[in-house]
Amino acid sequence: MPFCKFASLRNGMNLIIDVGNSFVKLAVFEKDKMLIRHKVQSKDVLKTLRLLRKEYKNLQKAIISSVGKLRQTDVAYVEKYFETIVLNSETKLPFENLYSTPKTLGIDRIALVSASVEQFPDKNVLIIDAGTCITFDFITKENHYLGGAISPGIRMRYKALHNFTANLPLLETEIPKNSIGNSTANSMHSGVVQGVLLEIEGAIQKYKLKYPDLTVILTGGDTNFLSKQLKSSIFANSNFLLEGLNYLLQFNTH
């Protein structure tokens, strides 16, 4: 009987739950193919879980990655119906983690690096995740994760300008019409957006000085907005984190 059970699990579908700072993403994978993805608020997670379980009868395994907060009732539901992994610093990884404080490494960053191991093996890879924060993560072709950087994301920069000054407005994200802003609003757009682009371009060039064969991945909520404006050669993939979580689930249950 145990053999039959595990054989069934290998043939089943995977439920991926990524709890971010702003939203929760839920995805269903069949092997390496993503079938569906939902982006919901935390209050709608349980309703979405029930719908997915009803629609995809072969859902059997799940992984939860949480940098935000997931209600305990939601976690209990997942653990009741699926073979579940809650990603943490003790989870077995497909790479050697050389971060000096491994227990503090964000689980979202762990998932991103795992995706690069699966999709770009034997490569020097820089993963740039442009979301609430902008994270840079670097793994060598020898499969050694060295670390990276963390800085404020686009929306955080707009909010900081508004919240920590007396008169600057809170603006929606917009591509600046000119790098020289001719109004307060245009100056803010130039400062935020051009600042992020120059930061990313500068980081890529700095890594390339030491690793000329660098592979660069851009992912996260601002992927589409930024990828059109970057001059460096990159692979843009907004689902990279979900794909990494799916790989980690397979890696830990096979």
Beta carbons of 247 and 115 less than 8 angstroms apart: yes
- What percentage of the chain reaches a pLDDT higher than 70? 96
Query: Which of the residue ranges 2-6, 46-50, 99-103, 206-210 would you say has the lowest mean pLDDT?
Result: 2-6
Is a pLDDT exceeding 70 seen at residue 1?
no
Query: Each residue of 42-60: pLDDT tens digit?
Result: 999 999 999 999 999 999 9
Beta carbons of 65 and 88 less than 8 angstroms apart: no
Beta strands in 103-143 (DSSP E): 125-130, 133-139
Q: Give me the pLDDT at residue 11, please.
A: 60
Q: Give me the pLDDT at residue 67, please.
A: 79
Other Cβ atoms within 10 Å of 39 Cβ, number = 15
Selection from 132, 3, 7, 126 nearest residue 60 by Cα: 7
Is a pLDDT exceeding 50 seen at residue 5?
no
The residues annotated as belonging to the active site are: 108
pTM: 0.90
Q: Is 19 annotated as a binding residue?
A: yes
Q: Kindly state the DSSP code that residue 121 receives in the 8-state scheme.
A: T
CATH homologous superfamily for 96-155+181-240? ATPase, nucleotide binding domain (3.30.420.40)
Span 95-118, average pLDDT: 96
C-alpha gyration radius of the chain: 20
Q: Is 57 annotated as a binding residue?
A: no
Beta carbons of 28 and 14 less than 8 angstroms apart: yes
Domain ranges of the chain: 2-86, 96-155+181-240
Q: Is 213 annotated as a binding residue?
A: no
Q: Is 74 annotated as a binding residue?
A: no
Which residues in 136-172 are b (16+ Cβ under 10 Å) and which e?
A: bbbbbeeeebebbeeebbbbbbbeebeeeeeebeebe
Q: Give me the pLDDT at residue 169, please.
A: 97
- To the nearest 5 percent, what fractions of the chain are helix, strand and coil? 40, 25, 35
Is a pLDDT exceeding 60 seen at residue 227?
yes
Q: Give me the pLDDT at residue 112, please.
A: 97
Span 17-29, average pLDDT: 92
- Token pair, residue 84, equals 């579940």
Q: What is the architecture of the domain spanning 2-86? A: 2-Layer Sandwich (3.30)
Q: Give the pairing type, strands 144-152 and 96-97.
A: parallel
Q: What is the mean pLDDT of the chain?
A: 93
Q: Give me the pLDDT at residue 21, please.
A: 78
Is a pLDDT exceeding 80 seen at residue 73?
yes
Query: Which of the residue ranges 4-18, 89-103, 224-238 would you say has the lowest mean pLDDT?
Result: 4-18
Bridge partners (DSSP) listed for residue 150? 135
CA dihedral 68, 249, 251, 132 (to 10 degrees): -30
Q: Is 184 annotated as a binding residue?
A: yes
Q: Please tell me if the domain spanning 2-86 has the same topology as the one spanning 96-155+181-240.
A: yes
Q: Is 10 annotated as a binding residue?
A: no
Q: Which residue has the higher pLDDT, 66 or 98?
A: 98
Q: Is 107 annotated as a binding residue?
A: yes
Q: Is 24 annotated as a binding residue?
A: yes
First-to-last C-alpha distance (Å) of the chain: 17
57 Cβ neighbours under 8 A, 6+ residues apart: none
Q: Is 181 annotated as a binding residue?
A: no
**How far apart, in whole angstroms, are the C-alpha atoms of residue 117 and residue 133?**
22
Is a pLDDT exceeding 60 seen at residue 2?
no
**How far apart, in whole angstroms, are the C-alpha atoms of residue 116 and residue 120?**
5
Residue 10: pLDDT band by 50, 70, 90 thresholds? very low
Q: Report the SS3 class of residue 98.
A: coil
